[in-house]
């Protein structure tokens, strides 16, 4: 469920007309719903009710500080993968003891930053990282709390570019090697082993891969406890999918996911951490764009819009589907045609949809790409010297710009000419 609905013939974000936002900021723009973000967090949090747990939002999905602030005030922790994300989380008021640091390439500088300013745990991904983290912690007179990310060799049956739990993926250590690496960690002066971490992928629409992975984690927990490790926390990652296509069968509900967690690891007495990103932010956002031209091609109709692949790269990168709606509600019996919906960038990959059946939208009118709240604005660029587009947050009948569109002058002034030019 989201809070983007037609009211009196115009698409609204909660109680705000999208046409009113467009009149203020221009198109294209992203718009996020506070009510949807809040609802999605609560539904996920309630799915783990009765278990000692912390929902750590995966910031890479959408790291605008206003979004982080909403979730933090609801009690969310944060899962960060860079020093920049860590700094954003702190700027949003998240205490260090609710921040988990993931990622395969943490630098000494990032380790220093987190240890000095507070961290819940590092999810360690390799033996070299473990060695460096120990050195950094000792140099600071500190102790780094860690889990070790194990790779369970489970196929999440998702897109190859967002799979993370198979043996050929770059993430974590093989689960068969876990006892050896945990023994090394347990002997280190600057390391405190607190638990186990696992993450098998993103946009997963079948619960069985989670069940298989968590069963392996449960078995490993017992083995490591037998080896003398105080395993008291299980970071189970994120990855639960969302419905990008409204006509498709819906992915599993958070409550069903919560049951898998209870059935597989609920008996171990561990605190559970979950790291949803897309599930919280994805359907809480739209990308709104104007039609520049309708162009008749050879056997094809092209709808050319003012958003482009640099604004929303998922279709170009993953062949991802986003439902497309006209801002002005069409008549129920309106004619429909097939369109290629494309942007203005000089790349064939700048295509949002091919041969999509849509109600025609006139030049100058607007459309909305659904499910754009995750991996949209955060992956945007200024390719073709196209400004980063505004992000807008809606709360009831109010809206505010939470990231403005830079001017061409502001963009160009970031470049620095050397003295010899």
Measure the CA–CA gap between 240 and 214, rounded to whole angstroms: 14
Measure the CA–CA gap between 300 and 294, rounded to whole angstroms: 11
Pinpoint the alpha helices (H) of 26-96.
Answer: 34-47, 65-73, 83-91
Strands (DSSP E) contained in 248-373 are: 271-274, 285-296, 301-305, 324-326, 337-342, 351-358, 366-369
How many CB atoms are located within 10 Å of the residue 184 CB?
14
Measure the CA–CA gap between 11 and 326, rounded to whole angstroms: 8
Chain centroid, CA 307 distance in Å: 21
Measure the CA–CA gap between 323 and 172, rounded to whole angstroms: 34
Chain centroid, CA 330 distance in Å: 32
Provide the 3-class DSSP secondary structure of residue 53: strand
DSSP 201: B
401 φ/ψ angles, rounded to the nearest 5 degrees: -75, 125
Q: Establish whether 346 is a catalytic residue.
A: yes
From the number of C-beta atoms within 10 Å of its C-beta (0-12, 13-18, 19+), residue 346 rates as: exposed
Measure the CA–CA gap between 175 and 198, rounded to whole angstroms: 10
Q: Which of 346, 362, 416, 417 is catalytic?
A: 346
- Our separate counts of H helices and E strands in the chain read 12, 21
**Active-site residue set:** 346
């Amino acid at each position: 469920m989201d809070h983007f609905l037609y009211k009196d013939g115009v698409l609204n974000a909660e109680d705000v007309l999208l046409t009113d936002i467009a009149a203020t900021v221009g198109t294209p723009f992203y718009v996020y719903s506070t009510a949807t973000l809040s609802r999605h967090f609560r539904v996920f949090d309630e799915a783990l009710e009765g278990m000692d747990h912390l929902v750590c939002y995966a910031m890479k999905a959408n790291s605008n500080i206003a979004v982080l602030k909403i979730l933090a005030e609801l009690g969310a922790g944060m899962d960060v993968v860079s020093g920049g994300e860590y700094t954003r989380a702190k700027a949003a008021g998240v205490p260090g003891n609710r921040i988990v640091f993931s990622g395969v390439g943490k630098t000494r500088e990032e380790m220093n930053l987190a240890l000095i300013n507070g961290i819940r745990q590092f999810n360690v991904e390799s033996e070299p990282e473990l060695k460096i983290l120990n050195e950094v912690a000792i140099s600071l007179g500190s102790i780094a709390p860690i889990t070790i990310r194990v790779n369970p060799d489970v196929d999440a049956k998702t897109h190859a570019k967002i799979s993370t739990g198979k043996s050929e993926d770059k993430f974590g250590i093989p689960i068969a090697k876990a006892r050896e690496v945990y023994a090394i960690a347990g002997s280190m002066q600057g390391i405190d082993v607190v638990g186990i971490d696992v993450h098998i992928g993103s946009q997963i629409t079948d619960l069985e891969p989670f069940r298989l992975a968590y069963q392996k984690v449960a078995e490993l927990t017992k083995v490591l406890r037998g080896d003398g490790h105080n395993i008291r926390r299980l970071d189970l990652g994120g990855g639960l999918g969302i419905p990008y296509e409204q006509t498709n069968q819906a992915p599993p509900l958070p409550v069903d996911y919560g049951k898998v967690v209870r059935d597989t690891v609920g008996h171990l007495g561990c605190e559970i951490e979950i790291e949803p990103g897309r599930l919280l932010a994805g359907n809480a956002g739209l990308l709104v764009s104007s039609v520049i031209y309708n162009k008749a091609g050879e056997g094809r109709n092209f709808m050319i819009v003012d958003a482009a692949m640099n604004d929303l790269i998922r279709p170009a990168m993953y062949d991802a589907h986003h439902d497309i709606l006209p801002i002005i509600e069409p008549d129920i019996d309106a004619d429909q045609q097939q369109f290629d919906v494309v942007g203005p960038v000089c790349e064939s990959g700048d295509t949002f949809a091919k041969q999509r059946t849509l109600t025609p939208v006139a030049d100058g009118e607007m459309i909305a790409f659904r499910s754009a709240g995750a991996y949209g604005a955060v992956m945007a660029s200024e390719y073709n010297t196209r400004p980063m587009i505004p992000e807008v947050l809606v709360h009831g009948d109010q809206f505010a710009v939470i990231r403005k569109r830079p001017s061409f002058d502001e963009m160009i002034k970031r470049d620095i000419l050397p003295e010899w030019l």
